[in-house]
Amino acid sequence: MTQLRSRRLLAGLLAGAVQFGILGFAFADTTILNVSYDPTRELYKEYNAAFAAKWKADTGETVTIQTSHGGSGKQARAVIDGLDADVVTLALESDINAIAEKTRKIAPDWRSRLPNNSSPYTSTIVFLIRKGNPKAIHDWGDLTQEGLQVITPNPKTSGGARWNYLAAWAWANHEYGGDEAKIKQYIGALYSHVPVLDTGARGSTVTFAERGLGDVLLAWENEAYLALDEFGADQFDIVIPPQSILAEPPVAVVDGNVDAKGTRKVAQAYLTYLYSEEGQRIAARHHYRPSKPDLVPAEELQKLPELKLVTIDDPIFGGWAKAQPYHFGDGGIFDQIYKPAQ
Amino acid sequence: MADFVSTASLHAEKNRATATTESRATRWVLLALAFGFIALFLLLPLILVFAEALKRGVGPYLEALGDSDTLSAIRLTLLVAAISVPLNLIFGIAAAWAIAKFEFKGKAFLITLIDLPFSVSPVISGLVYVLLFGSSSLLGPWLKSYGIEILFAVPGIVLATVFVTFPFVARELIPLMQEQGTGDEEAALSLGANGWQAFWYVTLPNIKWGLLYGVLLCNARAMGEFGAVSVVSGHIRGLTNTMPLHVEILYNEYNAVAAFAVASLLAGLALVTLVLKTILEIHYGHAIAGSRGH
Amino acid sequence: MNTAPADAGWRFRVPSVIPGFGLTLGFSLAYLTLIILIPLSGLVWRSAALGWTDFWAIAMDRRTVKALEISFGTAIIAAAVNVVFGTIVAWVLVRYRFPGRRIIDAMVDLPFALPTAVAGIALTSLYAPRGWIGSLLEPLGIKVAYSPLGIVVALIFIGLPFVVRTVQPIIEEIDKEVEEAAATLGASRFQTITRVLFPGLAPAIVTGFALAFARGVGEYGSVIFIAGNLPYVSEIAPLLIVIRLEEYDYAAATAIATIMLALSFVMLLVINLIQAWSRKRYG
């Protein structure tokens, strides 16, 4: 017993020493870690500053928000593997579910704790193409034309990639009247046009825009606009297909971690503030679709076009709990159809 | 007489020069090839780093370096080097003492093991710690229950860095100490010094330049390591992001100026390392045996 | 440890008056075990737990095989280029006197000192279609960045000092009288080089090749920026390990890592054999 206690003490001292070593320069502040997915870098950069100012004004405390970005699935695995996130803001529900199931650090009812299924903003999938649309790409059916190269990330590691896949699936389902053999054939054909699967959406954007690979990038709407901003509208065009998918990137407090670190209050406030007027306006500025558009002045609502959006809860998918293992699990449909282009 | 000798040797020198060197044209071609190759593969990338960093002028350059994430990346890199270099320094001295001052069985095998990290891919150096301390391992969750974080935290980065920089000091000291033999220490001992005194007053002064040389190379690698650290770090800005990782993140954010600004600091470190290394070689070359070759 | 019986026929170590053997060897072995051996054996153990069938399936997966082929192929080409130019650089540095020689000599070690990520982004920017060199090559239809050629360029950068620093000391040691003798006996300069000098340099050149090759096979940082990372085309084995790791496919990551580890053991052995052989032959 005493041995155990002294060992704990030693361990505590060690951990303390290490933590102090790292945070020694900022030990007076509260620090929270937001583990997010790839294209939210610019969004959270601005939002973090806004929230820190707001928190300072409300409580007088200084809060430092650290962020980590990467493919959504990869990020979820890092949290499962021990990355001490206070909040996760990932690309899709099943990644947060995976953390909840594997670590029990997030309460199972997390989706109902914040409005709109815990998604403060939504988005969709669009096409980014080379200027002037030389390959005449207008709809999902155009993606499998001879010699065309499609850039999309790896559904095993990226959340956006899974939305891309599901959007294509939804279109094919509509096109082929639900004939699964034909849908699979289309999806297989689509991925045979993909020369490289990056691990995250940002990697794919770099591949398409910077390395000049491919004719079309399947991209988050916000990432596509960002690419226009970054690389100049003279290089690319955005094509909005007639039909796409409603992507709901959810957010959640990691209960186990915030309770261990004593950061629950600020972590909860951080997420709740996303639904405030300022949070929604920042989201809109970064080309996300705010979940409470009425909070955003009409002139600030970016021109986000209307299109037919299929949801993940549509019977063809049956929600993430069903779609994730069926399409993306080991030996799932993606594993069956994916043979990289050569 | 003296004159005659010197004229004769001068003559011989001249003859030797034509007999043992290439024709003028060949020399020029070889020189051009060597210069061209070095310029193309070494000099241009180096110049480019500074050119890109300063592309938009000094203001944006300094601004990029003053960014808080950049500053904490610099701090972390210094911290990691400050822990891992001394660890490998102590190991290097101990290993070199045991190997150079004694004859024992299995010595060659031991040297091979010390060399091992040189030939292991950096990615594997990181992977082994993920397997050892990850959530699917036995050790990781156990340590975690005591609140000790290894992966995605500083200890993991330090471990991966220690792994890749493991042989540097030892490889520098072993041949040097072997060459120096044991005579000086034996003399000191016979005069009544104890082991520590012999090491401190006899061995250390003999090896100090070689030691410095090893530390220099070890430090350069420790601060610049990318692959191994990339696997064990969680890439958290401001927390587990070292300078080389920060370069990658900035580069992937299309922030070329900032990426090259941070890169220019690392390139500056490399240049300082090269200058110090050259000074050591010029002035203390005799005291850095076996320094060439890795 | 140092209590081996002095009168036994087999001795662990030769007796010596110098103290500290137990302490230093004990510490070295403990540290080596903790930092290197336990983690590496953990990798092998994990891989063994996979079972032979699974291991073989991963090893023979076309993407794995191709990635290993690309890693080894580009490393061989880069090492070969370095052997040619590295030997020329070493020769020029030892034999010729020209202004800036000392600077060039110091520059050769740049790849040792420059972090690989910095080398990666610098080479990529240089050879990208809009880069200083890339824009010159593009009209000729040569694509370096984001192609296997880019991998070779990065590995040439990484491997150059290994060849130069192995060959240089041997050239320094060449006794000029041998060359004189050859010249006196009527050999042309070309014959002297190919018949007299080259055989003496060969072991160093082979060692330099092997070192540059071993480093190139495992290189990650500088390659991933410039390679384009297309599966089956320009995806290197270390990157595939990272991808598998990110896919949470620990089994595949472990298996590929084990294959690479085994190959680097073989490389290490070959290098040691070459060196032992050349010591025996050329003293």
**A175 and A324 fall within a common domain:** yes
**A114 and A199 fall within a common domain:** no
Give yes or no for B234 touching A (CB within 8 A). yes
**B120 and B225 fall within a common domain:** yes
Q: Tell me whether residue A306 is in a domain.
A: no
The secondary structure element, H or E, covering residue A127 is strand A125-130
- Residue B22: the pLDDT is 80
Q: Tell me the pLDDT of chain B averaged across its residues.
A: 88
Tokens 């080259």 — which residue? C198
**B103 and B153 fall within a common domain:** yes
* Residues of chain A found within 8 Å of residue C233, distances taken between Cβ atoms: 195, 342
Give yes or no for B135 touching A (CB within 8 A). yes
**B94 and B20 fall within a common domain:** no
Tokens 């210094």 — which residue? B78
**A10 and A70 fall within a common domain:** yes
Alpha carbon of residue C100 to chain centroid: 28
Spatial CB neighbours of B47, under 8 Å, sequence gap ≥ 6? none
* Residues of chain A found within 8 Å of residue B140, distances taken between Cβ atoms: 81-82
Beta carbon pairs, B and C, within 8 Å: 306
Candidate from B77-91, B234-248, C123-137, C200-214 with smallest mean pLDDT: B234-248
**A148 and A164 fall within a common domain:** yes
Closest CA–CA distance from residue A50 to any residue of chain B (Å): 16
Q: Tens digit of pLDDT for each residue in C125-180?
A: 999 888 899 999 989 999 898 889 999 999 999 999 999 999 999 999 888 888 88
Contact C258, C92 (CB under 8 A): no
Candidate from A286-300, B66-80, B129-143, C117-131 with smallest mean pLDDT: B129-143
Contact B147, A15 (CB under 8 A): yes
Between CA B177 and CA B174 the distance in angstroms is 5
Between CA A194 and CA A188 the distance in angstroms is 10
Closest CA–CA distance from residue B149 to any residue of chain C (Å): 17
pLDDT level of residue B4 (50, 70, 90 thresholds)? very low
Name the amino acid, one letter, at C181.
Answer: A
Q: Tell me whether residue B14 is in a domain.
A: yes
- Residue C270: the pLDDT is 84
Q: Strand pairing of A125-130 and A216-220?
A: antiparallel
| 8 Å CB contact of C231 and A212 | no
Identify the CATH number of the domain in which residue B283 sits. 1.10.3720.10
Number of domains in chain B: 2
Class of residue C276 by CB neighbours under 10 A (exposed 0-12, middle 13-18, buried 19+): exposed
Between CA A210 and CA C225 the distance in angstroms is 11
Residue B179 sits in which domain range?
Answer: 60-287
Between CA A188 and CA A186 the distance in angstroms is 5
Q: How many of the other CB atoms lie within 10 Å of CB of C23?
A: 15
Number of domains in chain A: 2
Give me the residues paired with residue A35 across strands. A68, A88
**B3 and B124 fall within a common domain:** no
Give yes or no for A11 touching B (CB within 8 A). yes
Contact B98, C25 (CB under 8 A): yes
**B260 and B142 fall within a common domain:** yes
Can you tell me whether residue A244 is helix, strand or coil? strand
Between CA C172 and CA B200 the distance in angstroms is 35
C interface mutation test: which of B83, B85, B90, B128 has the most C CBs within 10 A? B128
Give the residue with greater pLDDT, A206 vs B158: B158
Closest CA–CA distance from residue A318 to any residue of chain B (Å): 31
**Residue A131 CA: distances (Å) to CA of A204, A228, B56, C4:** 18, 11, 27, 79
Say which of B91, B134, B198 has its CB closest to residue C28.
Answer: B91
Say which of C21, C180, C219 has its CB closest to residue B19.
Answer: C180
How crowded is the C-beta side of C71, counted as CA atoms within 13 Å?
28
Say which of C165, C241, C264 has its CB closest to residue B127.
Answer: C241
* Residues of chain C found within 8 Å of residue A207, distances taken between Cβ atoms: 228
**B32 and B112 fall within a common domain:** no
**A53 and A173 fall within a common domain:** no
| 8 Å CB contact of B237 and A66 | yes
Q: Does pLDDT of A13 surpass 50?
A: no
Q: Tell me whether residue A307 is in a domain.
A: no
Between CA C71 and CA A188 the distance in angstroms is 28
Q: Does pLDDT of B245 surpass 90?
A: yes
Give yes or no for A278 touching B (CB within 8 A). no
Say which of B128, B230, B256 has its CB closest to residue C40.
Answer: B128
pLDDT level of residue A27 (50, 70, 90 thresholds)? very low
Give the residue with greater pLDDT, A25 vs B210: B210
**A257 and A281 fall within a common domain:** yes
Give yes or no for A177 touching B (CB within 8 A). no
Say which of A71, A157, A196 has its CB closest to residue C229.
Answer: A196
- Residue B15: the pLDDT is 47
Q: 0.90 cut: is pTM over it?
A: no
Taking each helix axis from N to C end, the angle separating A159-175 and A72-80, rounded to the nearest 10 degrees, works out to 130
Q: Tens digit of pLDDT for each residue in C170-180?
A: 999 888 888 88
Closest CA–CA distance from residue C35 to any residue of chain B (Å): 6
Contact B262, B246 (CB under 8 A): yes
- Residue C76: the pLDDT is 96
* Residues of chain B found within 8 Å of residue C114, distances taken between Cβ atoms: 46, 224, 266-267, 270
A interface mutation test: which of C124, C246, C250 has the most A CBs within 10 A? C246
Cα–Cα nearest to B293, from B205, B207, B168: B168
- Residue A211: the pLDDT is 78
**B133 and B30 fall within a common domain:** no
- Which ipTM did the prediction report? 0.89
Give yes or no for A162 touching B (CB within 8 A). no
- Residue C9: the pLDDT is 62
* Residues of chain C found within 8 Å of residue B121, distances taken between Cβ atoms: 217-220, 237-238, 241, 257, 260, 264
Q: Tell me whether residue B52 is in a domain.
A: no
**B14 and B109 fall within a common domain:** no
| 8 Å CB contact of B95 and C43 | no
Spatial CB neighbours of C140, under 8 Å, sequence gap ≥ 6? none
Alpha carbon of residue B179 to chain centroid: 22
Q: Tell me whether residue A342 is in a domain.
A: no
**Minimum Cα–Cα distance from C243: chain B residue:** B231
- Residue B1: the pLDDT is 39
Q: Which residues of A touch C (CB under 8 A)?
A: 71, 73-74, 77, 154, 156-157, 195-199, 207, 210-213, 340, 342
Q: Tell me whether residue B47 is in a domain.
A: no
Q: Tell me whether residue B242 is in a domain.
A: yes
**A317 and A202 fall within a common domain:** yes
Mean pLDDT value of segment A28-44: 88
> Phi and psi for C4 in degrees, rounded to 5?
-55, 130
Closest CA–CA distance from residue B125 to any residue of chain C (Å): 8
**A154 and A182 fall within a common domain:** yes
**Minimum Cα–Cα distance from C109: chain B residue:** B274
* Residues of chain C found within 8 Å of residue B131, distances taken between Cβ atoms: 39, 42-43, 46, 250, 254
**A64 and A142 fall within a common domain:** no
* Residues of chain B found within 8 Å of residue A210, distances taken between Cβ atoms: 254
**A86 and A200 fall within a common domain:** no
* Residues of chain A found within 8 Å of residue C248, distances taken between Cβ atoms: 73, 77, 156
Give yes or no for B146 touching A (CB within 8 A). yes
| 8 Å CB contact of B42 and C110 | yes
**Minimum Cα–Cα distance from A156: chain C residue:** C247
Closest CA–CA distance from residue B213 to any residue of chain A (Å): 28
Identify the CATH number of the domain in which residue A284 sits. 3.40.190.10
Name the amino acid, one letter, at C202.
Answer: A
| 8 Å CB contact of A25 and B146 | no
Say which DSSP state B148 is in. -
Helices and strands, number each (H, E), in chain A: 14, 12
Q: Tell me whether residue B51 is in a domain.
A: no
Closest CA–CA distance from residue A183 to any residue of chain B (Å): 34
Closest CA–CA distance from residue A127 to any residue of chain B (Å): 20
Say which of C88, C111, C260 has its CB closest to residue B34.
Answer: C88
**A239 and A254 fall within a common domain:** no
**B91 and B230 fall within a common domain:** yes
Contact B53, B260 (CB under 8 A): yes
**B263 and B195 fall within a common domain:** yes
| 8 Å CB contact of A21 and B236 | no
Spatial CB neighbours of A207, under 8 Å, sequence gap ≥ 6? A151, A196, A198, A213, A214, C228
State chain B's maximal CA–CA distance in angstroms: 88
Closest CA–CA distance from residue A15 to any residue of chain B (Å): 5
Say which of C31, C110, C132 has its CB closest to residue B48.
Answer: C132
Q: Tens digit of pLDDT for each residue in A112-130?
A: 999 999 999 999 999 999 9
Beta carbon pairs, A and C, within 8 Å: 41
Burial profile B178-193: b = 16 or more Cβ within 10 angstroms, e = fewer: eebebeebbebbeeeb
Residue A129 sits in which domain range?
Answer: 125-245+312-337
**B174 and B255 fall within a common domain:** yes
Contact C107, B44 (CB under 8 A): no
Between CA A54 and CA A43 the distance in angstroms is 16
Cα–Cα nearest to B221, from B164, B160, B158: B164
A interface mutation test: which of C70, C241, C247 has the most A CBs within 10 A? C247
| 8 Å CB contact of B30 and C88 | yes
Q: Tens digit of pLDDT for each residue in A234-245?
A: 999 999 999 999
Q: Tens digit of pLDDT for each residue in A56-115?
A: 999 999 999 988 888 888 888 888 877 889 999 999 999 999 999 988 999 999 999 999
- Residue A341: the pLDDT is 52
Closest CA–CA distance from residue A305 to any residue of chain B (Å): 26
Contact B145, B139 (CB under 8 A): no
Can you tell me whether residue A106 is helix, strand or coil? coil
**B141 and B255 fall within a common domain:** yes
**A274 and A317 fall within a common domain:** no
**Minimum Cα–Cα distance from A211: chain C residue:** C146
Give yes or no for C47 touching B (CB within 8 A). no
